[in-house]
């Protein structure tokens, strides 16, 4: 597949009164055209900062790009001015934020907000812009588009507002769409509808998607590949199947173990990851997850692990992958979930209407 985006050794810090927070510490990943990459991790792991960095929305001078490259179709976005990026935002790279009300102007009709995107990036008449706006509203599944076009954001439900935001993000046919926790504020029924909508739209227009989330259930539905972030670093990268069926990093085991599951008694069990993420004012020596891991070895507190290759698509930043490391088994919760996922995959249940 053709490479669309490549992030190389990206490091970003924020100046605070307490000192310099090393928010992103040597992040590497790529995205091919038409592909969906999910970036997952706890709050504060660096997911949203990474997405903001791609759009060059990291607030300066407090936020600083310390090193690295963000190559979009071969162009390094870090070297571009804000005026140059303004021309790319929306046209080349679109973004959907978590709360649609932060993206919509409450005093402006939604139709005008959609057509403004078109006027910004294309030479288009008012009549053609209106026609395109109505087409986009229909595309994202908003009924009565002619009437809705002239309504204000407060006249829409949360799910419908998010559909409007998606329409705005797709208005100029961007090659890359970044979705930063776009369904977190929605109930599960609407969340499922929005996720299905995004999959359908991607199939129609071929946009590549970076999906930022803490919800592994969402990842299972959306992603081709998954990057697991912890303390400003990617600690595991692989296909969705590799992350769910063959996770290798203790942090990934912890995330999978913390997903809700029903045991044989019908009771819901959750396994929390012990401790808290490290203070990135003073990043720990060695493996950042060592203090929270039941599998930490002496070297984890002394030396940062490299990224070990499991397969051509699967990479893990953990000393447990070293040839001389002891063999360990994932926690029972992960093994149990793997068995359930495997059974569900091999033996689908058909429900008659």
Mean pLDDT over the full length of the chain: 89
Whether the pLDDT of residue 336 is over 70: the answer is yes
- 13-36 average pLDDT score: 96
190-207 pLDDT, tens digit per residue, is 888 888 888 888 888 889
Q: How many residues does the chain have?
A: 353
Give me the CATH code for the 33-55+83-92+175-353 domain, please. 3.40.50.300
| Spatial CB neighbours of 52, under 8 Å, sequence gap ≥ 6 | 58
pLDDT of residue 203: 86
pLDDT at position 348:
38
Mean pLDDT of 96-118: 89
User: Quick one: which of 25, 18, 70, 72 has its CA closest to 45?
Assistant: 25
pTM: 0.89
Q: Which residues of 210-243 are buried (b: 16+ CB within 10 A; e: fewer)?
A: bbbbbbbebbbbbbbbbbbbbbbbbbbbbbbbbb
Cβ-based neighbours of 37, under 8 Å, separated by 6 or more: 29, 31, 208, 209, 210, 211, 223, 224, 225, 226, 227
Tell me, what's the pLDDT at 281?
Answer: 95
Label residue 134 by pLDDT band (50, 70, 90): very high
Domain ranges in the chain are 33-55+83-92+175-353, 100-173
E strands, the chain, are 3-16, 19-32, 36-40, 63-72, 75-76, 93-96, 176-180, 208-213, 225-230, 233-239, 261-262, 268-269, 308-309, 315-316
């Amino acid at each position: 597949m053709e490479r669309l985006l490549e992030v190389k050794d990206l490091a970003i810090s924020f100046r605070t009164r307490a000192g310099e927070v090393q928010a992103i510490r040597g992040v590497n990943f790529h995205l091919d055209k038409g592909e969906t990459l999910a970036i997952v991790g706890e709050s504060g792991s660096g997911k949203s900062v990474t997405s903001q960095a791609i759009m060059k929305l990291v607030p300066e001078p407090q936020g600083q790009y310390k090193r690295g490259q963000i190559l979009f179709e071969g162009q390094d976005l870090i070297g571009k001015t804000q005026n140059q990026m303004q021309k790319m935002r929306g046209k080349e790279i679109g973004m959907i934020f978590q709360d649609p009300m932060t993206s919509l102007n409450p005093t402006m009709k939604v139709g005008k907000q959609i057509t403004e995107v078109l006027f910004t990036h294309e030479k288009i008449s008012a009549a053609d812009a209106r026609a395109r706006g109505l087409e986009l509203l229909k595309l994202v599944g908003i009924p009565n588009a002619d009437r809705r076009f002239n309504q204000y954001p407060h006249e829409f439900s949360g799910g419908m507002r998010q559909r409007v935001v998606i329409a705005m993000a797709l208005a100029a046919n961007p090659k890359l769409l970044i979705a930063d926790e776009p369904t977190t504020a929605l109930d599960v029924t609407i969340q499922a509808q929005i996720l299905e909508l995004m999959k359908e739209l991607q199939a129609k227009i071929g946009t590549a998607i970076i999906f930022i989330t803490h919800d592994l259930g969402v990842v299972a539905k959306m992603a081709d590949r998954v990057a697991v972030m912890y303390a400003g670093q990617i600690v595991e990268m692989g296909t969705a199947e590799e992350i769910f069926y063959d996770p290798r990093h203790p942090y990934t085991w912890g995330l999978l173990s913390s997903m809700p599951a029903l045991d044989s008694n019908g009771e819901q069990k959750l396994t929390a990851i012990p401790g808290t993420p490290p203070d990135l004012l003073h990043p720990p020596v060695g493996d950042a997850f060592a203090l929270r891991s039941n599998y930490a070895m002496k070297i984890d507190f002394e030396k940062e692990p490299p990224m070990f290759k499991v397969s051509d698509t699967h990479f893990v930043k953990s000393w447990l992958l070293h040839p001389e490391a002891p063999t360990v088994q994932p926690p029972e919760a992960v093994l149990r979930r793997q068995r359930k996922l495997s059974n569900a995959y091999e033996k689908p249940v058909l429900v008659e209407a």
